[in-house]
């Protein structure tokens, strides 16, 4: 961190002054969220939680993360298009994990019926900066989110807030190192491309100026949705070109059998899905673990050793817990050094991972049971904490030791076998107090941040 910024962090009077300005600036720039108390009120909003200062990120690592994104887009897509790989990889998981098994059933059913022409992928690859004992820093992927990757919108509004704060703190040079960022625009370009491809065959772009966007729960779709004889999807009388899944990644999202029926209906339809069920499954933690095995990336990029190397450089150690010798080795390794690992169940949405001695408790119980295959083990990434203030409505300001996670947004569109759009469209930095092991912005733990390139 720059010496000047460190100095500012300790200047209590200045910080108090900046705090007020920061909140006002956030409101002015639309860094807003509805409040917990009145989540449905269109009348009451507050600022979305954010860090008082941007967090230093080495320029080279930042660009490394951006540069590898289009390769990750292609990787996810190729995995999603490889039924043998998905089936083999998820075989052990779906035996013990009912939720993944239900998703997989939908996948199998759709697989037998038809292959839709157009696919839209909007994802976010998340990283932390790992500090090795020898002093080196490297970019390591936490996971890639292929469904409901959020915060593309607010991320475009926070750079102006941080730049203004740095200027007020008399750090005008630093403010030049907070980059513009507009993931939402790129995500929207992907959406528009997919919409155009769907429409070019159906309504020849005649309704370009008035595209209705409708928001529905699974149950609503089950009740008011239908497929016609050519599998076009209709909901409340609208023909649906694109289904964007805002949820559907957690068991709680499927509140009834009707929810599952709705997911199946949408998957069977001609509508472009974002993501389709195979891309959803390609984002599972078991797939991530399998991709890190020796020789697997090469199968997806047989003629691109450079691509393989670029992707692999971002992988942390990932280990199988499948039944057998290798899985037994993983268990022994974790029990011997639990603090070096994270135990991950096949879940999304934060708050599910297991750390430290709790890993031992869980693995001692599951050691020789197939239940252990519902998890994977991952090297714990060890970022160096950075001091910062976290601004949260209603919470007093205090200097925190913080950890950050860099997300990179990818957007792609495939038509048949051709990638017709493949872009890295922006980034997102989220920061949390280092006492919280798990959890994202939506989970109320991490707050919005920006990289300060150094
Ligand atoms: P989810 O699908 O629930 O978001 P993640 O794999 O992203 O699961 O893990 C949730 C959080 O746990 C991450 O945002 C990160 O803060 C922490 N975490 C996950 N994996 C690791 C790891 N290997 N090392 C350190 N922290 C991790
Ligand atoms: Mg995550």
Structure token digits, residue 424: 């890295």
Residue of 448, 445, 391 lying closest to 20 (CA atoms): 391
pLDDT recorded at residue 6: 87
142 is in an annotated binding site: no
Per the CB < 8 A criterion, the answer to whether 268 and 231 are in contact is yes
Q: What is the mean pLDDT of each run of 10 residues along the chain (454 residues)?
A: 84 94 97 91 93 98 98 98 97 95 97 85 97 94 94 93 97 96 96 90 54 90 95 93 95 96 97 97 98 98 98 98 96 96 90 92 89 95 95 92 96 96 98 73 76 97
Candidate list 153, 349, 356, 444, residue with the active-site label: 349
For a pocket test of ligand 1, which of 132, 147, 342, 439 has the largest count of ligand atoms closer than 8 A to its C-beta?
A: 342
Q: Distance, CA 438 to ligand 1 centroid (Å)?
A: 6
Q: What is the model's pLDDT at position 210?
A: 61
Cβ neighbourhood burial of 256 (10 Å; 0-12, 13-18, 19+): exposed
Ligand 1, atom 23, residue with closest C-alpha: 380
For 122, counting Cβ atoms within 10 Å of its Cβ (0-12 exposed, 13-18 middle, 19+ buried), the class is: buried
The confidence score (pLDDT) of residue 226 equals: 97
Predicted local confidence at residue 409, as pLDDT? 98
> Closest Cα partner for 126 from 425, 406, 430?
406
Quote the pLDDT of residue 199.
81
| Ligand 1, atom 22: closest residue by C-alpha | 380
Residue 207: predicted pLDDT: 53
348 is catalytic: yes
In angstroms, the CA 209 to CA 226 distance is 25
E strands, 38-147, are 45-47, 50-51, 55-57, 118-131, 137-145
Record the tokens describing residue 204, joined without a space: 């020849």
Please give the structure tokens belonging to residue 113: 């019926």
285 is catalytic: yes
Which residues are CB-neighbours of 146 under 8 A, at least 6 positions away?
76, 121, 123, 275, 279, 280, 282, 283
**pLDDT value at residue 442:** 44
CA nearest to 427, candidates 444, 406, 441 = 406
Q: Which residues line ligand 1 (CB under 6 A)?
A: 126, 142-143, 316, 342, 344, 347-350, 352-353, 378-381, 405, 438, 440
pTM: 0.95
| Active-site annotation holder among 348, 388, 407, 450 | 348
- From the list 65, 69, 76, the residue with the least C-alpha distance to 128 is 65
């Amino acid at each position: 961190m720059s010496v000047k910024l460190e100095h500012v962090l300790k200047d209590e009077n200045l910080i108090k002054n900046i705090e007020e300005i920061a909140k006002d600036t956030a409101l002015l720039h639309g860094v807003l969220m509805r409040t917990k108390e009145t989540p449905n009120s269109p009348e009451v909003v507050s600022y979305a939680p954010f860090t008082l200062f941007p967090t230093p990120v080495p320029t080279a690592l930042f660009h490394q993360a951006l540069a590898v994104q289009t390769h990750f887009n292609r990787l996810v897509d190729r995995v999603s298009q490889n039924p043998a790989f998905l089936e083999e990889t998820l075989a052990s998981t779906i035996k013990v994990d009912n939720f993944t098994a239900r998703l997989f059933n939908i996948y199998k059913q759709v697989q037998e019926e038809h292959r839709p022409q157009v696919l839209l992928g909007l994802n976010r690859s998340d990283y932390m900066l790992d500090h090795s004992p020898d002093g080196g820093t490297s970019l390591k992927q936490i996971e890639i989110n292929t469904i409901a990757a959020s915060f593309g919108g607010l991320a475009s509004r926070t750079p102006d807030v941080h730049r203004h704060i740095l200027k007020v703190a008399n750090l005008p040079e630093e403010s030049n190192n907070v980059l513009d960022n507009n993931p939402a625009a790129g995500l929207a370009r992907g959406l528009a491309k997919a919409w155009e491809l769907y429409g070019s065959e159906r309504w020849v772009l005649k309704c370009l100026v008035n595209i209705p966007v409708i928001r529905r729960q699974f149950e609503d779709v089950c009740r008011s949705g239908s497929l016609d004889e050519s599998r076009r999807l209709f909901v409340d009388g609208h023909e649906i070109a694109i289904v964007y899944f805002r949820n559907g990644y957690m068991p709680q999202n499927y509140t009834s059998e009707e929810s599952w029926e709705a997911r199946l209906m949408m998957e069977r339809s001609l509508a472009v899905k974002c993501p389709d069920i195979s891309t959803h499954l390609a984002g599972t933690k078991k797939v991530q673990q399998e991709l890190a095995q020796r020789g697997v990336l090469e199968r997806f990029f047989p003629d691109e050793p450079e691509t393989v190397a670029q992707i692999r450089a971002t992988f942390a150690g990932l280990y199988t817990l499948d039944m057998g010798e290798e899985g037994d080795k993983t268990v022994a390794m974790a029990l011997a050094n639990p603090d070096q690992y994270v135990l991950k169940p096949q879940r999304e949405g934060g708050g599910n991972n297991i750390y430290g001695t709790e890993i031992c408790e869980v693995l001692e119980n599951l050691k020789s049971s197939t239940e252990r295959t519902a998890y994977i083990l991952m090297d714990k990434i060890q970022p160096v904490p950075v001091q910062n203030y976290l601004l949260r409505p209603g919470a007093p300001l205090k200097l925190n030791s913080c950890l950050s996670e860099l997300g990179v947004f990818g957007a792609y569109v495939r038509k048949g076998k051709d990638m017709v759009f493949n872009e890295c469209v922006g980034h997102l930095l989220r920061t949390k107090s280092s006492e919280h092991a798990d959890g994202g912005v939506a989970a109320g733990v991490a707050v919005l941040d920006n990289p300060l390139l150094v």
